């Protein structure tokens, strides 16, 4: 099974690289010190500090592997790659909810950068998938658990 491509903006790339560096240089050392301290307490078979530190170490190592894999598969999306004629990864899209009249702005990003609280939605999300390849003025139906939401694409830019 082939691995999926990871789309990142230059800012997203920097953020992931910084997280990876922090995990490798700071967090690894911190958790190693916690493990060493927990071992110094004696019997590790019933040592909750040791168990917690080992669990954190496993999480950190797993996250490092995930980040390294993502960065190897990364495709960087720059402004030059974004066609403002249609919605693509990297596009900023202004939408109008046709039922309620609300206007929303979303930036379409790869799943690794998704941050819905800051209006960065994944190209793999229901809204992102429905918007990809559509042009300004298009009416888009988005299937969500609550039903179907209709949006009109008001603008596409960088």
Q: What is the CATH number of the domain that holds 149?
A: 3.10.50.30
Q: pTM of the entire structure?
A: 0.77
- Say yes or no: 113 and 66 in one domain: no
In a domain, 79, yes or no: no
Could you say which of 23, 48, 74 is where a domain stops? Answer: 74
- Say yes or no: 69 and 95 in one domain: no
56-111, pLDDT tens digit by residue?
Answer: 999 999 999 999 999 999 999 888 877 778 999 989 999 999 999 999 999 999 98
Kindly give, in sequence order, each residue whose CB lies less than 8 Å from that of residue 156, ignoring residues fewer than 6 positions away: 84, 85, 86, 87, 91, 92, 93, 94, 135, 136
For 124, other C-beta atoms within 10 Å of its C-beta total 13
32-60, pLDDT tens digit by residue?
Answer: 999 998 888 777 777 888 899 999 999 99
């Amino acid at each position: 099974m082939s691995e999926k491509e990871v789309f990142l903006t230059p800012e997203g790339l920097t953020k992931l690289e910084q997280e990876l560096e922090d995990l490798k240089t700071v967090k690894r050392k911190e958790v190693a010190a916690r493990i060493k301290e927990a071992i110094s307490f004696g019997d590790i078979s019933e040592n909750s500090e040791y168990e917690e530190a080992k669990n954190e170490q496993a999480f950190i190592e797993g996250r490092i592997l995930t980040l390294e894999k993502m960065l190897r598969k990364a495709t960087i999306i720059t402004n030059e790659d974004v066609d403002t004629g249609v919605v693509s990864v990297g596009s900023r899209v202004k939408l109008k909810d046709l039922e309620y009249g609300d206007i929303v702005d979303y930036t379409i990003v790869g799943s690794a950068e998704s941050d819905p609280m800051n209006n960065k939605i994944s190209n793999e999300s229901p809204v992102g998938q429905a918007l990809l390849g559509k042009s300004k003025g298009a009416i888009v139906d988005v299937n969500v658990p609550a039903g179907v939401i209709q949006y009109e694409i008001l603008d596409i830019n960088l």
